[in-house]
Amino acid sequence: MISKYRKQFNEEFSQKKYEQFKEILNQKSGIPPGFRISESPMILSNNFKSKLIEASESIIDQIKALPEETLQKAIPENCNVPNDTKQPHFFTIDFGICKNEEGEIVPQLIELQAFPSLYAFQKVLEETFCEVYPFLSEIRNKMPPEEFKNYLKEVLIGDDNTENVILLEIYPERQKTAIDFALTEKLLGIKTVCLTKVKKEGRKLFYENRGKLIEIKRIYNRVIFDELDRIPDLKLEFDFREDVDVKWITHPNWFFKISKYLLPLLNHQYVPKSYFLNEFPETESLENFVLKPLFSFAGSGVNLNPTKDITDAIQDKGNYILQRKVNYEPLFEDMNGEFSKAEVRLLYIWRENDERPILLENLARMTKAAMVNVDFNKKDAIWIGSSNAFFAE
């Protein structure tokens, strides 16, 4: 970690600046975030960044080499959506910041998904850190804001008119990520539409705007099947599995194809060993593994200390994995001399004619709990929540 920048940040930090920081975010978005924002950025070394990129590039190579039949097996029969694409438009990958047996700080793969994350929000979060703490500008992401915007615009809107593109979510106003929806609209002009408000005529979809029905040609999809299944008596005019005349950004099948399902198939020094639960070998010990359902979201259903009684009781063992535990290293010192642990999520886009995805931004999460999820932290903890990683020499 880069101690000189950490020292400078801690010297400049004050509760007043933190309140100012949050107020600027509120002004830019028009709504407060539905999740906790960490007081502090993460300042990591360029050497660590190189390790992140090395691992990501290897993982991308391995995914590209997988047969299509292998990826197709990941899609539950009741979730298969027509008109699949050759590759996803988004690719995100989470790494824990860990210490290995040699005492070296290394990334460890935690999760990966072909599903959009908080792209618009993270760019604004980075900019806001730099506004409140100007010294961070010298180590910020080198991609200019206009270039970032153009990449997102190309993927999300393409050659269509902005009014024919929507961000689709189920009850978006209830989502913790609503601030990202608001910032996406400010950045690109696309409306956020609730799935319950989408109308269907033949193979075409529509939404209402100022009393007028507008055809939907592209869907920036933020709906997760896992969440739909938990909403009883949901009334919809169209089903994802119908063959409709829209372009999915990204296609819903990729939520399943690039997911925890791939973890047992990947091999790299920064990829902890994983097994499907129904293939867990007797030579391994459960106490060294974390139990994860394949298709949950935001840490739902994860068991950090699985037992044989727990795993034996699971009927659909093919829909769970066991992933070797990693040692998150507490590295980020707060004002009280306490330390937080963290994960970094790399945010890629994958343009349709590109062989490889392009890294746009990162999302960082800080915690003092066993899981990197703010809900598991003490209420008075600081240096926890959503953040952004800066990289320096």
How much is the pLDDT for 371?
A: 62
How much is the pLDDT for 298?
A: 58
Question: pTM here?
Answer: 0.93
Q: Taking 60 as the threshold, does the pLDDT of residue 299 lie above it?
A: no
Q: Say how many domains are in the chain.
A: 1
How much is the pLDDT for 233?
A: 84
* Mean pLDDT across 101-111: 93
* Mean pLDDT across 212-227: 91
Task: Work out the percent of the chain whose per-residue pLDDT is above 70.
Answer: 96
Q: Taking 60 as the threshold, does the pLDDT of residue 315 lie above it?
A: yes
Residues 6+ apart with CB under 8 A from 248: 81, 83, 85, 218, 219, 221
Residue type (1 letter), 214: I
Nearest in space to 258 (alpha carbons), one of 391, 45, 73, 57: 73
How much is the pLDDT for 79?
A: 86
Strands (E) located in the chain: 42-45, 90-99, 105-113, 165-169, 191-194, 199-201, 204-209, 212-216, 218-221, 247-249, 274-276, 289-293, 320-324, 332-333, 339-349, 358-367, 385-387, 389-392
Mean pLDDT rounded to a whole number for the chain? 92
Provide the pairing of β-strand 218-221 with 165-169: parallel
CA distance 391 to 370: 25
Contact 183/128 with Cβ under 8 angstroms? no
The 10s digit of each residue's pLDDT in 17-44 is 999 999 999 999 999 999 999 999 999 9
Range of the domain at 263: 3-392
**Sheet holding 218-221: strands in order across?**
191-194, 165-169, 218-221, 247-249
Q: Taking 70 as the threshold, does the pLDDT of residue 300 lie above it?
A: no
DSSP string over 300-345: TT-BSS--HHHHHH-S-GGGEEEEE---B---EE-TTS-EEEEEEE
* Mean pLDDT across 135-152: 95
Pick the range with the lowest mean pLDDT from 59-63, 88-92, 112-116, 231-235: 231-235
How much is the pLDDT for 374?
A: 47
